C-alpha cells in the first residue's frame, strides 16, 4: 500500500512539473518577439499638407488615413527634416550623420564648384559637396541587417548622384530594393491626358475605390507579406508628392476643382492660382494618403506569425514623416502653400525644414500631441534603442535618442538628452546652396546667417526670430511666420548665437559658399583675386604656381574624378598643400582620371584652374566636367 502511495506521489509530482513546463513553454512561445520597424518617408510633403496639422486656415487636402494614424501614437508639432532638400535629408536619416559633417548638403553633388547658370550675374557659388554616402557607411539598414533583420527598401532612393548611380540600396545594407514609380509615372503626352481607366490592360487600372494601381505601394505591401515571418525593417520612400505635379485619377482632379471652386484646367503646363488651390496637387496628396493607408491597414489586420494572437501593428514601430518642407513652386506651377510658415523646399526657413511627423508602436501612448523639438537625425539612435540594439562600434550619431521620450512622456522635452548629457535645446541646419544660409534654433529663438548678403539689399547678414514663448512651461506661438526680424533690437543674442553656430560648423568641418571672381557687378576685393599661372605633373604629384594680386590664398583643394567621362562622372575633394613660394602641391589619389585645383583667398573668392563651365551648360550640352579639366590618363 505504501509502495502504491509513493508511486502516486511521484506521478503527481511528474504531472505537476510536466504541466508547469508546458505552461512555461506556452508563455515563452507567446513572448513578444523582436519589434519590426516601418520608416515611411514621403517626398516634399509640407507641414500644412496633412489635415491634422491644420492651423489658421483649413487645408482642402483630404488625408483621413494619415489623420487616423496620428491618433494611434505621437504627433509632433515641431519636427524638422535634417535639410531643406531631399537627398541630404535621406542620407542623414539613413546614416545618422549631419549633412554638414557628411559634406552632403544638397541634391546630386559630386561635381566641381562652379556657378550654376550665369557667371556675370551670380555673386556666389556653392562649395564642393558629396554626391552620396560613402559605400562603406554603417547605415541604419546595415546595422539592423547585421542583427538578423530582413531589410527592404521600396520607392525613391536618391542617395547617389543619380537615382540609379552607385551605391544603390543593396550596396548600403538592404536585402531587397524596388524602385517602380507606379502611378507617378508621367502621363503622355501631358497631364490632361492618359488618365487611368477600368480596362484590364491598363497598367494603372482603377481599383474598387477608384484609385489608380500604384506599384510603389504594392511593392511595400509585397515586402511585408513576404517577410513578416522574420523581424523586418521596411524603408518605404514614396515618390508622392514630388513633381511632376499630376494625377492619373481624373475623378480626383474633378473632385478638387469642384471643392476649390476653380475651373477644370485647360493648360497642361501651368497653374497660377496662389495658395493651396492646385487641384492636381490636392489629388496627389489624397492619393498618397490612400496608398500609405493600405500599409497601415495591412499591419493592423494581419496576424503576426511570430506572435500568435496578435497583429503586426502591435509589434511594429511606424515612423511617418517627410524629407523636407513643401515645394511651393515647381516647373511653372504654384504647387502648395506652407503658410503660416515662411518659404518652402530649398530654403532653410521654417517652411523648408518643418515637417509632419507621427510615431506609433508598442509601448507608445496613443493620441498624444507634443511640442518637443525633434529631427530626422534622431531616427537612427531611437530605432536602435527601441530594438535594444547597441550602437555600432565607432559609429558617430548626430541625433538624439527619443526612446525615453516616446515610452515615458512624449510631452516632456527634458527627456531628449544631447551629447552633453543635458536637455537638448539646440538644432542646426547648414544649406550653402540656393538661399545660402546656416540656421540655428536655440529654445524659442531661430537665428539665420545669410552668406549672400554683400551688395544685396534684399538679404541681411543676420536674422533673428522668436518662434515661441515657453517661459511659463508651455509653448505659446509668437512668430512662426519669421516675419519680425529681431537682429537689430537684440544684438547680444545675435552675437551669442552666431558664435555658437560657428563653433558647431567648425567642429563638423562644414564647407561654405564662395564669391564668384567673374561677377560683373560691384563686389569688394574682386580686383585682388589670385591668378593661377601654371600647372605641372610628375608621376602622381601635381604642382600649381599662382600669383597673388593683393589677397592671400588661405585654402587650396584638389578636386578630382576617378571616372571622368562616365555617365555618372563623380568628383571628390582632397586638401592641397599651400607652400611659401606661391605654389600649391597635391598627390593625386589612386585611380584619378581628371583633376582641377581650387584656391580660396582671404576674402572668400574661389578661383578654379582650369576654369569650369556653368553647371547649367554642362546639363544642356550633356558634356562632362572632365572635358575641361586636366587629364591623368
Residue 29 is predicted with a pLDDT of 56
Query: What value does the CA radius of gyration of the chain take, rounded to a whole number of Å?
Result: 28
Band (pLDDT 50/70/90 cuts) for residue 24 is very low
Task: Say whether pLDDT at 524 is over 50.
Answer: yes
120-150 pLDDT, tens per residue? 999 999 999 999 999 899 999 999 999 999 9
Q: Which three cell numbers stand for residue 508?
A: 563638423
Average pLDDT over residues 87-92: 98
Bridge partner residues of 575 (DSSP): 557
Q: Which of the two residues, 10 and 469, has the higher pLDDT score?
A: 469
Quote the CA–CA distance of 238 and 195 in Å, as a whole number.
Answer: 20
Task: Say whether pLDDT at 17 is over 50.
Answer: no
Helix (H, G, I), strand (E, B) or coil at 631: strand
Q: Per-residue DSSP letters for 505-570?
A: HHHTT----EE-TT--S--TTGGG--EEEEEEEETTEEEEEEE-SSS-EEEEEEEEESSTTSTT--
308-328 pLDDT, tens per residue? 999 999 999 999 999 999 999
Residue 7 is predicted with a pLDDT of 52
Interhelix angle for 86-95 vs 379-386, to 10°?
Answer: 30
Mean pLDDT of the chain: 94
Q: Which three cell numbers stand for residue 491?
A: 544684438
Residue 474 is predicted with a pLDDT of 86
218-234 pLDDT, tens per residue? 999 999 999 999 999 99
CATH of 528-631, one of 1.10.10, 2.70.98, 2.40.128, 2.60.40: 2.60.40
Residue 346: HSE in the Cβ half-sphere, 13 Å Cα cutoff: 8
Q: Per-residue DSSP letters for 250-316?
A: HHHHHHHHHHHT-PPP--SS-B---SS--HHHHHHHHHHHHHHHHHHHHHHHSB-TTSTTSBGGGGE
Of 360, 304, 219, 303, residue with least CA distance to 34 = 304
Residue 103 is predicted with a pLDDT of 97
Task: Say whether pLDDT at 9 is over 60.
Answer: no
Residue 473 is predicted with a pLDDT of 84
Residue 216 is predicted with a pLDDT of 96
Quote the CA–CA distance of 354 and 80 in Å, as a whole number.
Answer: 4
Angle at 156 between CA 150 and CA 157, to 5 degrees: 70
Q: What ranges do the domains of the chain cover? A: 36-116+124-427, 436-513, 528-631
What percent of the chain has a predicted confidence (pLDDT) above 70?
A: 95
Average pLDDT over residues 279-295: 98
Quote the CA–CA distance of 632 and 538 in Å, as a whole number.
Answer: 10
Helix (H) or strand (E) holding 318: strand 316-322
DSSP category for residue 153: E
Task: Say whether pLDDT at 627 is over 50.
Answer: yes
What percent of the chain has a predicted confidence (pLDDT) above 90?
A: 92
Bridge partner residues of 206 (DSSP): 212
Task: Say whether pLDDT at 19 is over 50.
Answer: no
Give yes or no for a contact between 439 and 450, defined as CB atoms under 8 angstroms apart: no
Band (pLDDT 50/70/90 cuts) for residue 579 is very high
Regarding the domain delimited by 436-513, which CATH topology (the fold level of the hierarchy) does it fall under?
Arylsulfatase, C-terminal domain (3.30.1120)
Task: Say whether pLDDT at 545 is over 60.
Answer: yes
Quote the CA–CA distance of 172 and 135 in Å, as a whole number.
Answer: 7
Helix (H) or strand (E) holding 224: helix 215-227
Bridge partner residues of 234 (DSSP): 38, 152
Q: Which three cell numbers stand for residue 204?
A: 494603372
Task: Say whether pLDDT at 63 is over 70.
Answer: yes
Q: Which three cell numbers stand for residue 514?
A: 564662395
Chain position carrying cell 557628411 = 102
Chain position carrying cell 505659446 = 476
Task: Say whether pLDDT at 301 is over 50.
Answer: yes
Burial 477-504 (b: 16+ CB within 10 A, else e): eebbbbeeebbeeeeebbeebbeebeeb
Ranges 5-9, 18-22, 546-550, most confident: 546-550
Quote the CA–CA distance of 94 and 169 in Å, as a whole number.
Answer: 11
Regarding the domain delimited by 36-116+124-427, which CATH topology (the fold level of the hierarchy) does it fall under?
Alkaline Phosphatase, subunit A (3.40.720)
Quote the CA–CA distance of 316 and 361 in Å, as a whole number.
Answer: 5
372-413 pLDDT, tens per residue? 999 999 999 999 999 999 999 999 999 999 999 999 999 999
Please state the pTM of the whole predicted model.
0.93
Band (pLDDT 50/70/90 cuts) for residue 11 is very low
Average pLDDT over residues 545-570: 96
Quote the CA–CA distance of 253 and 192 in Å, as a whole number.
Answer: 10
Bridge partner residues of 541 (DSSP): 538, 587
Within 10 angstroms of residue 385's Cβ, the number of other Cβ atoms is 17
Give yes or no for a contact between 359 and 378, defined as CB atoms under 8 angstroms apart: no
Quote the CA–CA distance of 255 and 247 in Å, as a whole number.
Answer: 12
Bridge partner residues of 151 (DSSP): 233
Amino acid at each position: 500500500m505504501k509502495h502504491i502511495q509513493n508511486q502516486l506521489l511521484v506521478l503527481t509530482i511528474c504531472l505537476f512539473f510536466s504541466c508547469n513546463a508546458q505552461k512555461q513553454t506556452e508563455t515563452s512561445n507567446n513572448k513578444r518577439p523582436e519589434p519590426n520597424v516601418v520608416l515611411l518617408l514621403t517626398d516634399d510633403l509640407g507641414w500644412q499638407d496633412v489635415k491634422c496639422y491644420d492651423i489658421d486656415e483649413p487645408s482642402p487636402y483630404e488625408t483621413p488615413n494619415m489623420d487616423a494614424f496620428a491618433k494611434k501614437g505621437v504627433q509632433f508639432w515641431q519636427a524638422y527634416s535634417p535639410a531643406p532638400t531631399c537627398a541630404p535629408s535621406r542620407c542623414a536619416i539613413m546614416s545618422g550623420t549631419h549633412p554638414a559633417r557628411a559634406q552632403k548638403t544638397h541634391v546630386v553633388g559630386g561635381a566641381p564648384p562652379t556657378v550654376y547658370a550665369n557667371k556675370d550675374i551670380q555673386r556666389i557659388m556653392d562649395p564642393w559637396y558629396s554626391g552620396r554616402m560613402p559605400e562603406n557607411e554603417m547605415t541604419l539598414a546595415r546595422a539592423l541587417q547585421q542583427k538578423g533583420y530582413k531589410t527592404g527598401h521600396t520607392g525613391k532612393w536618391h542617395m547617389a548622384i543619380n537615382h540609379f548611380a552607385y551605391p544603390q540600396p543593396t550596396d548600403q545594407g538592404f536585402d531587397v530594393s524596388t524602385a517602380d514609380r507606379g502611378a507617378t509615372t508621367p502621363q503622355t503626352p501631358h497631364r490632361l491626358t492618359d488618365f487611368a481607366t477600368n480596362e484590364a490592360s491598363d497598367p494603372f487600372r482603377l481599383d474598387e475605390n477608384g484609385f489608380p494601381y500604384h506599384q510603389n505601394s504594392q511593392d511595400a505591401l509585397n515586402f511585408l507579406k513576404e517577410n513578416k515571418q522574420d523581424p523586418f525593417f521596411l524603408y518605404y520612400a514614396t515618390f508622392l508628392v514630388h513633381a511632376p505635379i499630376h494625377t492619373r485619377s481624373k475623378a480626383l482632379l474633378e473632385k478638387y476643382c469642384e471643392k476649390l471652386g476653380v475651373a477644370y484646367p485647360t493648360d497642361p503646363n501651368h497653374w497660377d492660382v496662389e495658395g493651396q488651390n492646385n487641384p492636381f496637387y490636392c489629388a496627389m496628396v489624397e492619393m498618397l494618403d490612400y496608398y500609405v493607408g493600405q500599409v497601415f491597414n495591412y499591419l493592423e489586420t494581419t496576424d503576426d506569425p511570430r506572435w500568435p494572437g496578435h497583429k503586426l501593428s502591435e509589434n511594429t514601430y511606424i515612423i511617418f514623416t517627410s524629407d523636407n518642407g513643401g515645394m511651393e513652386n515647381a516647373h511653372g506651377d504654384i504647387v502648395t502653400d506652407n503658410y503660416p510658415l515662411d518659404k518652402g523646399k530649398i530654403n532653410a526657413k521654417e517652411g523648408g525644414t518643418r515637417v509632419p511627423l507621427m510615431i506609433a508602436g508598442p509601448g507608445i501612448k496613443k493620441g498624444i500631441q507634443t511640442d518637443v523639438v525633434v529631427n530626422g537625425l534622431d531616427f537612427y539612435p531611437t530605432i536602435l534603442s527601441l530594438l535594444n540594439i547597441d550602437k555600432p562600434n565607432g559609429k558617430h550619431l548626430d541625433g538624439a535618442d527619443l526612446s525615453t521620450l516616446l515610452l515615458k512622456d512624449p510631452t516632456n522635452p527634458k527627456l531628449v538628452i544631447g551629447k552633453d548629457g543635458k536637455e537638448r535645446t539646440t538644432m542646426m541646419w547648414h544649406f550653402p546652396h540656393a538661399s545660402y544660409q546656416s540656421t540655428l534654433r536655440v529654445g524659442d529663438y531661430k537665428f539665420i546667417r545669410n552668406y549672400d548678403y554683400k551688395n544685396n539689399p534684399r538679404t541681411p547678414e543676420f536674422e533673428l526670430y522668436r518662434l515661441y514663448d515657453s517661459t511659463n512651461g508651455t509653448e505659446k506661438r509668437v512668430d512662426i511666420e519669421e516675419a519680425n526680424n529681431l537682429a537689430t533690437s537684440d544684438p547680444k543674442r545675435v552675437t551669442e548665437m552666431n558664435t555658437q553656430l560657428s563653433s558647431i560648423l567648425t567642429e563638423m568641418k562644414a564647407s561654405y559658399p564662395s564669391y564668384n571672381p567673374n561677377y560683373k557687378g560691384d563686389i569688394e576685393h574682386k580686383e585682388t583675386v589670385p591668378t593661377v599661372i601654371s600647372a605641372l605633373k610628375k608621376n602622381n604629384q601635381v604642382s600649381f604656381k599662382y600669383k597673388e594680386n593683393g589677397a592671400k590664398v588661405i585654402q587650396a583643394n584638389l578636386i578630382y574624378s576617378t571616372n571622368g567621362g562616365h555617365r555618372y562622372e563623380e568628383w571628390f575633394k582632397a586638401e592641397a598643400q599651400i607652400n611659401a613660394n606661391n605654389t600649391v602641391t597635391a598627390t593625386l589619389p589612386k585611380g584619378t582620371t581628371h583633376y582641377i585645383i581650387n584656391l580660396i583667398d582671404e576674402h572668400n573668392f574661389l578661383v578654379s584652374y582650369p576654369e569650369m563651365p556653368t553647371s547649367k551648360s554642362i546639363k544642356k550640352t550633356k558634356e562632362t566636367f572632365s572635358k575641361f579639366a586636366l587629364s591623368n590618363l
